[in-house]
Amino acid sequence: MRQIEYFVACVQTGSFSKAAEALFTTQSSVSKTVKAMEEETGTTLFERLPKGIRMTQEAERMYPFACQILDNLQKIQSSGRIPEAKTLSISCNPSSWFADTFVKFYEKKQDEGLHYQIHSADCREIVERVRERMDDLGFVYVMKNQLSAFQYYISRNYLEFVPLKETVVTLYYGGGCREGGAADFSKMKLLQRFPDEFSPDNYWNITDEKGRAAAEAETVVTTNSDYIMERLLQFGDLVNISGGYLSGTPLKETAKGRTLAPAEAGIAFGYVKRRGEELSSPAGGFLEFLIKRLRD
């Protein structure tokens, strides 16, 4: 670390003497440290000039990595000095039910000093976030006919999926639709989120009880905005294909829902976690609250 620190200082100041001033040491110490680094790496890092030094090509390649190492070291040192607040970090597929659940959890816990990081994403991004320890838990909706593929995918990332409840694919009719009782995909104009191979947003293989395929419908709007989704369903003549509400009464009263009954339209709702690891106290508390709400 000392060699890297001295090397970066030499690059930034352009001389051994100025680097020594910045590091509160002697020019001799800087020169010896850089020489030792050159010997250990088997490269010449600087050309010694009459006035100062100049990086070699090898040094130019090494410099960004050296800066990254020092930056990470500074973050480690800073994290040790700052008291760690209890933080709940979770991600989820876009879901009005999940949003409502989080709001109620926040209202219950708002006096406990918790911090929250809530990220909305598709299944693949959620898996990556949990794997990279950006989130403690990731909540997803997975089509049952894709569940085996999803289980295999996350097992390769040292994760596990825990199903919590089954629901079905539901057609949500916007407030401007004339009739919500009949499904004719060929006449529908769809409002969908960006497709995810594991979730109901990837609706191409979905059929109704009469075998009519959702692929016949025309996708008019694709968005990742929950606000746009709910506003268009309130007043527009669009239809959304997504998971059924998991418990209680849906928030968007204006959107008429009609479920698709066939088994292939089934959806598993659950969470992704790192395999073999215990949950943090905030994550465990939220999961317990969510499971209780599923049962209500």
Domains of the chain, with CATH numbers? 2-81 (1.10.10.10), 90-295 (3.40.190.290)
| pLDDT tens-digit readout, 55-113 | 999 999 999 999 989 888 887 776 665 555 688 999 998 888 899 999 999 999 988 88
C-alpha triplet 46, 49, 54: angle, nearest 5°? 35
C-alpha triplet 130, 132, 133: angle, nearest 5°? 65
| pLDDT tens-digit readout, 111-143 | 888 899 999 888 989 999 999 999 999 999 998
Read off φ and ψ for residue 72, nearest 5 degrees. -65, -40
- Distance CA(129)–CA(125), nearest Å, equals 6
pLDDT number for residue 253: 42
pLDDT number for residue 39: 92
Ranges 39-43, 76-80, 141-145, 189-193, most confident? 39-43
Task: Choose among 165, 186, 187: nearest CA to 244.
Answer: 165
- Distance CA(147)–CA(162), nearest Å, equals 11
Q: How confident is the model over 287-295, as a mean pLDDT?
A: 94
- Distance CA(33)–CA(220), nearest Å, equals 64
Strand intervals (E) in the chain? 46-49, 52-55, 87-92, 115-120, 137-143, 159-173, 189-192, 218-222, 239-243, 256-259, 266-274
pLDDT number for residue 206: 73
Token pair 């001295």 is at which residue?
Answer: 6
pLDDT number for residue 265: 59
Q: What is the dihedral of CA 267, 273, 276, 282, to 10 degrees?
A: -130
pLDDT number for residue 251: 43
Q: How confident is the model over 252-264, as a mean pLDDT?
A: 57
Task: Choose among 92, 76, 87: nearest CA to 129.
Answer: 92
Instruction: Sort residue 69 into left (φ over 0), alpha (ψ -120 to 50) or beta.
Output: alpha
Q: Helix and strand tally (H, E) in the chain? A: 9, 11
Q: How confident is the model over 156-185, as a mean pLDDT?
A: 79
Token pair 């009954």 is at which residue?
Answer: 261
Contact between 294 and 246 (Cβ < 8 Å): yes
pLDDT at 264 over 60: no
**Tokens describing residue 293:** 């709400």
